[in-house]
């Protein structure tokens, strides 16, 4: 046993460790167990276990952990010193064993599959129903039109929720795999036991990635990257700005900042970022109404022009239209119970990784992407210690993406680029 006796943690060893789990050096650590007078049957963490109530007497024994693990009671807690090596090993085992809950899930039924297909069709036009400006409908059809309008909005709500659900589940599975990799790196002797679980989870993870990618439009990711390289537009007087007075230029710059920032890191259609500009203009007017409609119209023309420029930039030919890059996406940070998860990846980054993946090294948690030039530039420009990014085969090497990714892993993917 460890020498620290003052502080103890009570751990359900029998529910964490099974005979299949390699124990490494901890197999020789003595643990105190309680058993019936016969010495047969389960080993218990304390004499108060219900399974020992019918025993005529209870014996206390010290036994090597490796011998005890086959007989541990699954309902007992063992008091262990806080510096016992069994505790961190148990945490690592739990990280790997938790992968099992995501395996052998029920297959989706035909209704679920059809909902995914409909979501993909709806989201291909944008995040919201297309705007209609047909005012020629008959008056007595207004009620039917309103019902149809509500049904269409509900359809897009469902589609967005499906995409968000796929995105969040894919990221959560990825995080579980990364954490299990970290556990195995800390205790390499766990690798043979962990490999099967990790391999099966990787297959589930890839299926979830594909399902998420099916709900994302690649052209929007490219257009978002094009916004990043657009020059900052210069302010020029527009008759529609009159109502803003001296605040016109400030409002113009703020509108560009908000629109471009949201567009660059989103998977949405550029037109779906218009509300950011609308909000900026509305805030600038406050309660004033004079000149407000004209200002909104002027800024609508501006954003339409920005969108045209972005799409022109996205369609510009380059000498290297596609590039192979490697990256290591971070796991979700750990949160306490009921705390919201804060994904370090932006929506754009997550969608790019899911859409353009061509190789994945599950043991290293690294990914190779084949992406358009503008997307590669944005990924490289925003690389960080949390998510290192590097071009693969910049000299035109003819090796496969998987081989190049393994070589990058070997060089150390955790170093900032």
Smallest Cα–Cα separation from 384: which of 342, 341, 327? 327
pTM of the model: 0.88
For residue 238, the model assigns a pLDDT of: 85
Smallest Cα–Cα separation from 167: which of 123, 224, 216? 216
DSSP codes joined into one string, 263-282: HHT-SS-GGGGHHHHHHHHH
Q: Of all helices (H) and strands (E), which one includes residue 381?
A: helix 373-381
For residue 384, the model assigns a pLDDT of: 87
Q: The tokens 């389960």 sit on which residue?
A: 42
Q: Is 270 exposed, middle or buried (0-12, 13-18, 19+ CB in 10 A)?
A: buried
Q: Inform me whether the pLDDT recorded for 138 exceeds 70.
A: no
Residue 331 gets which letter from DSSP? P
Q: Inform me whether the pLDDT recorded for 330 exceeds 70.
A: yes
For residue 149, the model assigns a pLDDT of: 78
Q: Which range, of 137-141, 147-151, 265-269, averages the lowest pLDDT?
A: 137-141
Q: Of all helices (H) and strands (E), which one includes residue 161?
A: helix 142-186
**Quick one: pLDDT band at residue 145, thresholds 50, 70, 90?**
low
pLDDT tens digits for 219-277?
999 999 999 999 999 998 889 999 999 999 999 999 999 999 999 999 999 999 999 99
**Quick one: pLDDT band at residue 6, thresholds 50, 70, 90?**
low
Identify which has the larger pLDDT, 27 or 382.
27
Cβ atoms of 295 and 240 within 8 Å: the answer is yes
**Quick one: pLDDT band at residue 416, thresholds 50, 70, 90?**
very low
Q: Of all helices (H) and strands (E), which one includes residue 202?
A: helix 191-213
Residue 80 gets which letter from DSSP? E
């Amino acid at each position: 046993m460890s020498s620290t006796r003052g502080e103890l943690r009570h751990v359900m060893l029998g529910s964490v460790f099974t005979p299949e789990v390699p124990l490494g050096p901890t197999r020789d650590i003595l643990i105190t167990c309680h058993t019936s007078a016969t010495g047969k049957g389960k080993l218990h963490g304390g004499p108060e276990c219900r399974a020992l109530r019918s025993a005529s007497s209870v014996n206390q024994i010290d036994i090597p952990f490796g011998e005890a693990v086959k007989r541990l009671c699954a309902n007992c807690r063992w008091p262990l010193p806080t510096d016992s090596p069994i505790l961190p090993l148990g945490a690592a085992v739990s990280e790997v064993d938790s992968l099992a809950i995501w395996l052998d899930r029920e297959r989706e039924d035909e209704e679920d599959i059809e909902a995914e297909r409909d979501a993909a069709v709806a989201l291909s036009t944008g995040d919201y129903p297309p705007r209609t400006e047909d005012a020629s409908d008959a008056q007595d059809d207004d009620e039917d039109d309103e019902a149809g309008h509500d049904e269409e909005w509900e359809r897009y709500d469902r589609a967005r929720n499906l995409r968000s659900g796929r995105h969040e589940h894919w990221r959560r599975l990825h995080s579980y795999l990364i954490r299990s990799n970290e556990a195995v790196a800390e205790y390499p002797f766990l690798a043979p036991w962990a490999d099967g679980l990790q391999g099966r989870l990787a297959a589930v993870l890839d299926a979830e990635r594909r399902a998420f990618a099916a709900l994302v439009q690649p052209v929007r990711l490219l257009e978002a990257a094009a916004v990043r390289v657009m020059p900052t537009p210069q302010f020029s007087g527009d008759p529609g700005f009159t109502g803003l007075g001296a605040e016109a230029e400030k409002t113009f710059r703020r509108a560009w900042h908000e629109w471009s920032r949201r567009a660059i890191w989103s998977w949405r259609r550029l037109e779906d970022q218009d509300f950011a500009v609308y909000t900026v203009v509305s805030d600038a007017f406050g309660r004033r109404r004079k000149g407000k409609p004209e200002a909104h119209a002027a800024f609508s023309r501006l954003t339409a022009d920005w969108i045209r420029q972005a799409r022109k930039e996205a369609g510009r030919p380059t000498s290297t239209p596609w590039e192979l890059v490697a990256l290591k996406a971070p796991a979700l940070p750990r949160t306490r119970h009921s705390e919201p998860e804060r994904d370090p990846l932006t929506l754009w980054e997550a969608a790019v990784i899911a859409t353009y993946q061509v190789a994945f090294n599950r043991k290293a948690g690294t990914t190779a992407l084949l992406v358009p030039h503008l997307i590669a530039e944005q990924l490289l420009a925003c690389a960080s210690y949390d998510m290192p990014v590097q071009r693969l085969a910049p000299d035109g090497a003819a090796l496969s993406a998987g081989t190049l990714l393994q070589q990058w892993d070997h060089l150390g993917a955790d170093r900032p680029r």
